[in-house]
Amino acid sequence: MIKTTLLFFATALAEIIGCYLPWLWLKRGVTPLVLLPAALSLGMFVWLLTLHPAASGRVYAAYGGVYVCAALLWLRVVDGEKLSLYDWLGAGVALCGMLIIVAGWGRA
């Protein structure tokens, strides 16, 4: 379960970076050269999703919970925004949902 969770967090980081870099280009006017590492990051995101042993729909469903947590951590660390109690509670609920889905892999 820990290996799967860490793989999900690596996947989320690749997706967030792949989306954040074009956002910087469009919103903040940074060089369009950031689109190259963005594309590589999104390619890594897709590849990481294929490393999970479950059917793709289950992987996407479980990944969603981890993505919520990773996005909120990004908000705190990169954007410098303080997280509210509701952010923490929502992340906890989303992560619990992911754990429930992953615990059922192979039992369906």
Q: Among 25, 17, 7, which residue's Cα sits nearest to residue 63?
A: 7
Asked if residue 63 lies in contact with residue 26, where contact means CB atoms within 8 angstroms, the answer is: no
Residue 68: the pLDDT is 94
Instruction: State pTM to two decimals.
Output: 0.84
Asked if residue 91 lies in contact with residue 67, where contact means CB atoms within 8 angstroms, the answer is: no
The CA-atom distances, in angstroms, between 15 and each of 70, 85, 93, 103 are 10, 25, 21, 24
Residue 61: the pLDDT is 87
pLDDT confidence tier of residue 102, bands split at 50, 70 and 90? confident
User: Per residue in 48-93, pLDDT tens?
Assistant: 988 987 778 888 888 899 999 999 999 999 999 999 999 999 999 9
Q: Among 54, 79, 60, which residue's Cα sits nearest to residue 15?
A: 60
More confident residue, 1 or 73: 73
